[in-house]
C-alpha cells in the first residue's frame, strides 16, 4: 500500500470504509426485516386463531371438513384442537391424530398464549410457526393450535438478500469512483504546488507556492511552506552577504600585505626598512588570522545554533581584573586607562574563554573608538547579572545603534579605525550561547555603554 499513489490509497481507504458501512447497513436492514416479518406472522396467527374461534364454537363446525380454505390454506397453514389431557379433538386433514404440543407445552399454553417454532409437520415440508391459546368448545376447555409455514417470509428475505448483494457492490463501485474523483480534485491543489515548487530556485527569488483559499489543512500547509521558503531565502541572502562581506574584509589586509612585501622586495635598501616592512606584514597577518578566527566562530554558531561551551562558576571581579590586565599595555600605549569596579560575590555560570573574548571585544571597541577612560562594571538585577563596558567618548551615531550587532556593521566613516565589523556580532553570539543578551546604548551625557546580560549562578545565592 505504501508504494501506491496517494490518490489510490485514499480511494482504497474510502472503499474499505464504504464497504463496511454498506455491509453493516445491509445486515441491519436484513435483521430488521426478519424481525418485522416474524412479528407480522405472529399477528396473522393470532388473527387466524380469532377467526377459528367461531368455527370451534360451532357444534357443527369441524377443522377436518374445512376444505374451502377460509381459515387455513393447504400446504401453508394448519390448525389443531387439543383437549386438556393432550388428545386431538379436531385437526386439519394432513395432521392426523398426532398432537403438536407436548404435555409441558400444553400446560404452558393453558396458562398463557404460546408461540413456538416447529419442525416440519405432516403436510408441510419445512418448519413452521404456531400459536396456541385456550378457548371453550361445548362447555369444555380446549387448546387451539394454529400454525403456518415461514416459506413466504423466507422467500421475502431471500429476495431482499439478493437485492442487497446486487445493489451493494454497485453502490460500492459508484462510491469508490466518486471517491477517486474527489481525491483527485482535493489533490489538484497539491499538484499545483508541486509544479510551482519544481521551478523555484535560488536564481528566482521571491516566488511562492499557490495557496488555495480553502480554510483547511491544505491552505495551512501552503502558508507554512511559503513561510519556510521565505526563511530559506532570507538565510541564503544572509549567507551570500556574509560571503561577500568576508571576501571584502579579507581582500583589504591581503592587498596591504602584498603591497608591503612588494615594496620590501623592490625598494628596501637597509635592514631597518626590511624590519619595518616585516613588522607591518606581521600586523596584517595577525589581522588576517583574527578575522579568520572570527569568521570561523560565527560560522560554527550558525551551523549548530550555539557555540560549544565549557561552563563553570566564574567570579566576576576576577574576570574583570583578568580582562583589564590584558589591555593595560595597549591602554598605556594610547595614553588611556582601563579600570574595573564591581561588588564582590557576583558569580556567573559561563565559559571563561568565551566570556573573556566577548568582554575583550567590548574593551577593544572602547579603546579604539571611545574616550580616555574605559570602565568595567557589573550589577545584579533580579536573577540576571549585567557586565558593562563604558567609555567617556563621543558615543555611537544614532543610526548605528539599531544595527550595532549586525555582521560587518561599522562606523569607520564617522569614528575611524580598522575593525572588521565582527566584534559586536561575536559578542551577541557568545551572549546568546549563554542564554543571555547583548545591548549597546549611548551614555548620559557622553560616552557609550555596552553590556552582556547573563543568568546569575546558583553560587551567588
pLDDT digits (tens, 9 = 90+) for 159-198: 999 999 999 999 999 999 998 898 888 778 888 888 888 8
Q: What is the pTM of this model?
A: 0.49
**Both 251 and 361 in a single domain?**
no
Mapped onto helix, strand or coil, the DSSP state of residue 367 is helix
In a domain, 196, yes or no: no
**Both 239 and 121 in a single domain?**
no
b/e burial code for range 111-123 (CB count within 10 A of at least 16 → b)? eeebebebeebeb
Structural domain span for residue 81: 8-154
pLDDT digits (tens, 9 = 90+) for 319-353: 998 888 888 888 888 889 999 887 778 888 888 88
Q: Are 455 and 349 spatial neighbours (Cβ–Cβ below 8 Å)? A: yes
Q: Are 246 and 230 spatial neighbours (Cβ–Cβ below 8 Å)? A: no
Which element (helix H / strand E) includes 154? helix 151-199
Domain boundary among 154, 172, 207: 154
**Both 277 and 328 in a single domain?**
no
Domain boundary among 154, 182, 202: 154
**Both 122 and 234 in a single domain?**
no
φ, ψ of residue 375 to 5 degrees: the values are -125, 130
CATH code of the domain containing 456: 3.30.565.10
Q: Are 280 and 268 spatial neighbours (Cβ–Cβ below 8 Å)? A: no
**Both 328 and 441 in a single domain?**
yes
Among 50-59, 217-226, 323-332, 429-438, the range scoring the smallest mean pLDDT is 50-59
Domain boundary among 304, 331, 350: 304
pLDDT digits (tens, 9 = 90+) for 22-44: 999 999 999 999 999 999 999 99
In a domain, 238, yes or no: yes
In a domain, 126, yes or no: yes
**Both 355 and 394 in a single domain?**
yes
Closest CA to 80 of 56, 115, 60: 56
**Both 409 and 273 in a single domain?**
no
**Both 355 and 338 in a single domain?**
yes
**Both 372 and 354 in a single domain?**
yes
Q: How many CB atoms lie within 10 A of CB 313?
A: 13
Tell whether the model's pLDDT for residue 417 goes beyond 50. no
CA–CA distance, 73 with 84 (Å, rounded to integer): 26
Detail the DSSP E strand segments found in 282-425: 311-315, 337-341, 347-351, 373-381, 384-391
Which element (helix H / strand E) includes 207? none
**Both 17 and 91 in a single domain?**
yes
In a domain, 208, yes or no: no
φ, ψ of residue 65 to 5 degrees: the values are -90, 0
Length of the chain, please?
A: 461
Give the CB-side neighbour count of residue 1, counting CA atoms within 13 A: 5
In a domain, 322, yes or no: yes
CA–CA distance, 412 with 405 (Å, rounded to integer): 15
φ, ψ of residue 119 to 5 degrees: the values are -75, 180
In a domain, 67, yes or no: yes
Query: 3-state secondary structure string, 246-284?
Result: HHHHHHHHHHHHHHHHHHHHHHCCCHHHHHHHHHHHHHH
Tell whether the model's pLDDT for residue 416 goes beyond 50. no
Work out how many domains the chain is built from and give that number. Answer: 3
Pairing outcome for strands 373-381 and 384-391: antiparallel
**Both 49 and 96 in a single domain?**
yes
- Given this model, what pLDDT does residue 248 score? 56
In a domain, 394, yes or no: yes
Which of 286 and 25 is assigned the larger pLDDT? 25
CATH code of the domain containing 100: 3.30.450
In a domain, 341, yes or no: yes
Distance of CA 354 to the CA centre of its chain: 38
**Both 271 and 316 in a single domain?**
no
Amino acid at each position: 500500500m505504501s508504494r501506491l499513489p496517494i490518490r489510490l490509497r485514499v480511494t482504497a481507504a474510502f472503499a474499505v470504509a464504504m464497504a463496511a458501512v454498506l455491509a453493516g447497513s445491509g445486515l441491519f436492514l436484513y435483521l430488521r426485516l426478519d424481525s418485522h416479518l416474524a412479528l407480522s406472522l405472529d399477528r396473522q396467527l393470532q388473527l387466524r386463531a380469532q377467526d377459528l374461534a367461531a368455527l370451534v364454537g360451532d357444534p357443527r363446525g369441524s377443522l377436518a371438513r374445512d376444505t374451502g380454505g377460509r381459515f387455513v390454506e393447504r400446504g401453508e397453514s394448519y390448525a389443531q384442537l387439543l383437549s386438556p389431557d393432550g388428545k386431538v379433538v379436531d385437526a386439519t386433514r394432513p395432521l392426523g391424530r398426532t398432537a403438536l404440543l407436548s404435555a409441558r407445552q400444553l400446560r404452558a399454553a393453558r396458562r398463557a398464549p404460546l408461540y413456538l417454532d416447529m419442525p416440519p409437520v405432516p403436510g408441510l415440508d419445512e418448519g413452521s410457526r404456531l400459536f396456541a391459546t385456550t378457548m371453550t368448545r361445548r362447555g369444555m376447555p380446549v387448546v387451539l393450535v394454529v400454525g403456518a409455514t415461514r416459506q413466504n417470509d423466507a422467500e421475502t428475505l431471500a429476495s431482499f438478500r439478493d437485492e442487497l448483494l446486487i445493489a451493494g457492490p454497485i453502490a460500492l463501485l459508484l462510491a469508490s469512483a466518486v471517491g477517486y474523483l474527489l481525491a483527485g480534485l482535493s489533490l489538484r491543489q497539491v499538484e499545483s504546488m508541486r509544479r510551482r515548487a519544481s521551478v523555484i530556485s535560488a536564481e528566482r527569488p521571491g516566488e511562492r507556492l499557490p495557496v488555495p483559499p480553502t480554510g483547511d489543512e491544505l491552505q495551512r500547509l501552503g502558508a507554512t511552506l511559503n513561510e519556510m521558503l521565505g526563511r530559506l531565502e532570507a538565510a541564503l541572502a544572509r549567507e551570500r552577504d556574509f560571503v561577500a562581506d568576508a571576501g571584502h574584509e579579507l581582500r583589504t589586509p591581503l592587498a596591504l600585505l602584498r603591497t608591503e612585501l612588494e615594496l620590501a622586495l623592490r625598494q628596501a635598501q637597509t635592514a631597518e626598512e626590511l624590519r619595518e616592512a616585516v613588522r607591518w606584514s606581521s600586523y596584517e597577518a595577525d589581522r588576517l588570522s583574527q578575522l579568520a578566527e572570527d569568521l570561523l566562530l560565527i560560522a560554527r554558531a550558525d551551523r549548530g545554533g550555539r557555540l560549544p561551551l565549557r561552563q563553570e562558576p566564574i567570579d566576576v571581579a576576577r574576570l574583570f581584573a583578568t580582562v583589564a590586565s590584558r589591555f593595560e599595555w595597549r591602554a598605556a600605549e594610547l595614553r588611556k586607562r582601563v579600570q574595573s569596579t564591581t561588588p564582590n560575590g557576583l558569580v556567573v555560570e559561563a565559559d571563561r574563554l568565551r566570556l573573556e573574548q566577548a568582554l575583550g571585544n567590548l574593551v577593544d571597541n572602547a579603546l579604539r573608538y571611545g574616550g580616555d577612560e574605559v570602565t568595567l562594571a557589573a550589577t545584579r538585577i533580579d536573577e540576571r547579572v549585567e557586565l558593562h563596558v563604558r567609555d567617556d567618548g563621543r558615543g555611537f551615531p544614532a543610526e548605528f545603534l539599531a544595527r550595532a550587532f549586525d555582521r560587518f556593521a561599522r562606523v569607520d566613516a564617522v569614528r575611524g579605525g580598522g575593525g572588521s565589523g565582527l566584534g559586536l556580532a561575536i559578542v551577541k553570539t557568545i551572549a546568546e550561547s549563554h542564554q543571555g543578551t547583548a545591548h549597546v546604548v549611548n551614555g548620559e551625557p557622553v560616552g557609550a555603554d555596552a553590556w552582556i546580560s547573563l543568568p546569575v549562578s546558583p553560587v551567588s545565592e
